């Protein structure tokens, strides 16, 4: 059975390399070096990059500004994956260049759902009725 990887049990090296890859991808997107009309027309945020334990695979979590045309942006990023991988490999100088995978970042949507649940009048009533811990 495969070991479940969570942010708590990832090594510092994995986190550092992931953050370096995130910075490189963000810089490439900000400077519009991919030369793509879709990517040039949208502001794209790289919210997180998770590295595999062997540093050969990287999952880049992407969010288009205001969530507009997210599927179109992801398709454009996936079209230019080879360019992004080459740039990351040149700038990082690791033994193996990580294979990039672009995935949508759903954490903002999840946070919004939780926030809406907490604002529900029934939940507010229960929270207000809870005894204080003083």
69-97 residue pLDDT tens: 888 999 999 999 999 999 999 998 888 88
CA angle in degrees (0–180, nearest 5) for 97-60-33: 75
Q: How many CB atoms lie under 10 A from the CB of residue 64?
A: 21
Handedness of CA 14, 94, 30, 82 (dihedral sign): negative
Condensed to tens digits (0 to 9), the pLDDT of residues 20-61 reads 999 999 999 999 998 889 888 888 999 999 999 999 999 999
User: Which residue is associated with the tokens 């809870």?
Assistant: 130
Q: Is the pTM of this model over 0.85?
A: no
């Amino acid at each position: 059975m495969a070991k479940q990887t969570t942010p708590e049990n990832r090594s510092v090296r994995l986190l550092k390399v992931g953050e370096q890859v995130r910075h490189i991808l963000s810089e490439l997107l900000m400077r519009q070096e991919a030369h793509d009309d879709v990517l040039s027309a949208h502001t794209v945020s790289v919210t997180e990059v998770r590295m595999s334990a062997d540093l050969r695979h990287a999952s880049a979590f992407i969010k288009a500004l205001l969530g507009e045309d997210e599927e179109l942006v992801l398709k454009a990023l996936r079209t230019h994956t080879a360019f992004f991988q080459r740039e990351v490999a040149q700038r990082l100088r690791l033994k193996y260049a990580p294979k990039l995978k672009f995935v949508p970042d759903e954490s903002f949507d999840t946070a919004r759902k939780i926030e809406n649940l907490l604002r529900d009048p029934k939940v507010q009533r229960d929270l207000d009725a809870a005894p204080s811990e003083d």
